[in-house]
Amino acid sequence: MGNNLLHEVPKLPRQEKLISLNLKRNRINRMEDGAFKDLINLKELYLQYNNLTGNAITQDVFIGLYNSSAPEPMGIEVLDLSYNYIKSIDSHAFTHLRSLKRLFLAHNPLKDISLNTGLAINQLQNLQELDLSQTGLTRIPDHFLTDLTKLQVLTLAGNNFQTVPGEVNFAHNLRHLNLNANPIESLTAGDFQEGLSTLRELDISGMPVLRNVGARTFSSLRSLEVLRMSSNPFLSVIDSRAFYIIEGDDITLREVRPFSVINEMQIL
């Protein structure tokens, strides 16, 4: 059902075998209450490249079938809302999506994670992957990631962070962090703290103003295996102690890609 001219998603008829629904690249701006509730085995819902705003994302849209007097939660595990016009999300929008594991909000004009948006996402206790790339963010609010205890992949690429957002250090089970293409000028000790001890992959490529990487920048990343740090046109200094090993700790890097498109690199 992708690549059509649909403007609305009506209540869809009962389907027991459908597990993935592709509605991307339409013109959808409205979804009827209970639109997906009869798709009882639906696991993946793709709604990217539509005209959805926050007003279209409500708890009644994602309500499940009723059992006695209460609705059952839906079994959707993947929800892609990328490339829409969402600025904020109602705090109860994801109430019935308790099984959601992967949420994609990339290329929406969020600008900030509002209180309601934060509350909505924080309800997703099984969330493992969150994509907030290209959403105009300059900060992550305090305590936003604290309750997302199963989060493993966080993509913040292409935003307006001038420093590494401190809140990422509270994502204690994070394995992959993508900060590509943010206007961060320098990376220093304390940017990546002990809370990221489980991090295995770090992307810091395409940083338009990154100039230096300081001593002990990566020292707390004990589980780091892959560091991608390429295509940073102004990066000229990586301190030789950037990977300084604190006594008793170890960094298990197996792949480093640091030197693409860098001129006059200095290791101090």
Q: Specify whether the backbone of 147 is left (phi greater than 0), alpha (psi in -120 to 50) or beta.
A: alpha
- Nearest C-alpha neighbor of 46 from the set 10, 16, 11, 82: 82
pLDDT of residue 257: 55
pLDDT score of 24 more than 60: yes
Cα–Cα distance for residue pair 62/66, rounded to 1 Å: 12
Look at residue 254 and tell me whether its pLDDT is greater than 80. no
Domain covering 1-136: architecture: Alpha-Beta Horseshoe (3.80)
- The pair of three-digit structure tokens given for residue 20, joined into one six-digit string: 């993935």
Report the share of the chain in percent with pLDDT over 70: 90
pLDDT digits (tens, 9 = 90+) for 4-15: 889 999 999 999
pTM over 0.75: yes
> Is there a contact between 193 and 170 (Cβ–Cβ < 8 Å)?
no
Whether residue 58 contacts residue 88, with contact meaning beta carbons closer than 8 Å, is answered with no
pLDDT classification of 229: cutoffs 50, 70, 90: very high
Give the domain ranges of the chain: 1-136
